[in-house]
Amino acid sequence: MTRPKLSVCIVAMNEEANISDCLSSADFADEWVVVDSHSTDRTRELAAAAGARVIERDWPGHVQQKNFALSEATHDWVLCLDADERVSPELRASILAALGSPGDAAGFECARRTFYLGRWIRHGGWYPDRKLRLFRRSRARWGGTNPHDHVVTDPGGGPVRRIGGDLLHLSYRSLSDHLRTIDSFTSIAAREKHAAGRRAGLLDLTLRPFGKFVRMYVLRAGFLDGAAGFCAAVSGAYYVFLKYAKLRELGRDLWRPDAR
């Protein structure tokens, strides 16, 4: 059986350090769609040079932008990647095998392995971190709440099966880069929760971050990843704290003494 054609969909902004390697790792596809949000570096030029069709578009949010990229693909089977991800050789072989005999599957999920502070993280809830990234766009779409998007399949659209090989995630260039991402993502998450009517109390600011650290470092054995595992658990707890602190800030004017 001839395998179905495959589109690769990527959303990007200022990813000149990543985009070429990302596209190169998926050079077995039949089409590459890169939706760029007005990068000020060479992201668009490098993507076009690698053979991608580049579309420039304002940033409406993670879920919305990724669904737009899906709508621009011309093939039903799509592989969705972030610019800081790479398809490993093992995953490449699994993808081609899955497409060669997809059956009634709506999609295929794989493990994602993250490189952090000089090592591949294998514990703390960061691995296997299974992601549904290869799917039929006629049976699935991006959902979730910004910035934590995920693929959801249509009811009755078919099973989701697992394939071997890791999706490699080159997440952060430094602790400072990680902290900048945390600051950005917690602002988005807090606004989403506030819009949904959520409020933050003292227990959200205290018990939730502590619980996150215990789950990552102790219950999910983050300590086995050494100092990197400890930093990941602390960062996870800080993310939770900052998200609820910002949510609390949105519910009150905390910076005007006459408002208290």
Residue range(s) defining the domain that contains residue 118: 6-170
Could you tell me if 35 and 160 lie in one domain?
Answer: yes
Q: Which long-range contacts (CB under 8 A, 24 or more apart) does 171-174 make?
A: 171/84, 171/114, 171/115, 171/116, 172/116
Domain identity same for 138 and 35: yes
Write the Ramachandran bin of 124: left for phi over 0, alpha for psi from -120 to 50, otherwise beta.
left
Q: Tell me whether residue 136 is in a domain.
A: yes
Which residue has tokens 């495959």? 6
87 and 150 inside one domain: yes
Q: Is 161 in the same domain as 34?
A: yes
Determine the Cα–Cα distance for residues 91 and 162; give it in Å rounded to an integer: 11
pLDDT digits (tens, 9 = 90+) for 127-163: 999 999 999 999 999 999 999 999 999 999 999 999 9
Domain co-membership, 126 together with 247: no
Percent helix, percent strand, percent coil in the chain, to nearest 5? 40, 25, 30
Q: Are residues 162 and 240 in the same domain?
A: no
DSSP string, 97-134: HHHHS-TT-SEEEEEEEEEETTEEE-STT-SS--EEEE
Which of 170, 195, 224 terminates a domain? The answer is: 170
Q: What is the pLDDT of residue 259?
A: 54
Do 136 and 155 have their domain in common?
yes
Could you tell me which of 173, 133, 157 has the C-alpha nearest to residue 26?
Answer: 133
| CATH of residue 20 | 3.90.550.10
Q: Left if phi > 0, otherwise alpha if psi is -120 to 50, otherwise beta: which for 93?
A: alpha
What 89-93 contacts at long range (C-beta under 8 Å, 24+ apart), as own/partner pairs, is: 89/165, 90/164, 90/165, 90/166, 91/163, 91/164, 91/165, 91/166, 91/167, 92/25, 92/28, 92/165, 93/165
Of 129, 148, 170, the domain-final residue: 170
Walk along the chain (260 residues) and give the pLDDT tens digit of each residue. 589 999 999 999 999 999 999 999 999 999 999 999 999 999 999 999 999 999 999 999 999 999 999 999 999 999 999 999 999 999 999 999 999 999 999 999 999 999 999 999 999 999 999 999 999 999 999 999 999 999 999 999 999 999 999 999 998 989 999 999 999 999 999 999 999 999 999 999 999 999 999 999 999 999 999 999 999 999 999 999 999 999 999 987 666 676 55
What pLDDT score does 136 carry?
98
Longest distance between any two alpha carbons in the chain, whole Å:
72
The encoded tokens of residue 136 equal 């039929």
User: Are both 24 and 141 inside the same structural domain?
Assistant: yes
**Do 194 and 226 fall within a single domain?**
yes
Helices 202-214 and 226-251: crossing angle, nearest 10°? 160
Question: Looking at this protein, which amino acid is placed at residue 145?
Answer: T
Number of domains in the chain: 2
pTM: 0.91
In a domain, 259, yes or no: no
Q: Which residues, listed in sequence order, are joined to residue 150 by a DSSP beta bridge? A: 143
One domain for residues 133 and 199: no
Q: Are residues 71 and 34 in the same domain?
A: yes
- Same domain for 218 and 127: no
